[in-house]
Amino acid sequence: MTAMMAHMRARSTVLLTVVVALAVATGCGSGDRGRGTSSTPPTTGGSSSSATPSGPSSPRLPKELRLPADVPTTSTGTPADDVSARVIRKWSGALTGGDVTRAARFFALPSNVQNGTPVVTLDTAEKRLVFNLTFPCGAKPTKLERAVHGYTIADFVLLERVGGECGSGTGGTARCAIRVRGGHIADWYRLPARRSAPPPTPQDPGSGLPGTQIS
């Protein structure tokens, strides 16, 4: 009876994780185009303009939904180390190809994840599988760069996932801070989308351009 009750509690924890993840975010699944970034709880929609004011680092969010203080949001501008890049590419490739079980095995036990939710610890094989099943889209890395504290800042373009339902999210983008340790993903955090560059300031037509003369 004790074993049965422990099993039921474990399954309840997994189901709670699924409910939270699906209720407030679809993660690298919904992206930053079309339906918008999922880093803005509690909806899965919105526009890319929500990237920073209500992103996971914003003080406007409840404390439990913010990024942990030691998670970087920008890179150093140098390429990711080979091991991290390989693990991230293999994980996203397995996910996109529909082999969610293999994708899940790239996550360490335990590992920490945050996808528009409070930080969740994946400490069983079932939980890490469930986490990967919440992604409706696949993803292909477009940029992998080093960041502080051993993280890699990963930029992804979203793709249809075999067995998934990416829909209008296809072609969108997503950013994550991922830390690989011992050949597995130990930490995975969804980041706000990059700010769009402001439009150039119109130039005073009377000022001319550098190196030119107005006659």
What's 24's domain CATH number? 3.10.450.50
Does 207 reside within a domain? Answer: no
- If pLDDT is split at 50, 70 and 90, which confidence band does 60 have? confident
Pairing between strand 107-114 and 151-160? unpaired
Our count of domains for the chain comes to 1
pLDDT score of 55: 57
Does 212 reside within a domain? Answer: no
Q: How many angstroms separate the CA atoms of 135 and 100, rounded?
A: 10
Q: How many angstroms separate the CA atoms of 113 and 129, rounded?
A: 13
What is the overall mean pLDDT for the chain? 77
pLDDT at residue 14 above 60? no
Does 24 reside within a domain? Answer: yes
Does 146 reside within a domain? Answer: yes
- The domain containing residue 185 runs over which residues? 12-46+55-191
In the predicted model, what is the mean pLDDT of residues 40-55? 34
Q: Dump pLDDT digits (tens) for 94-108.
A: 999 999 999 999 999
Q: Quick count: other Cβ atoms within 10 Å of Cβ 8?
A: 10
Tokens standing for 98? 């529909």
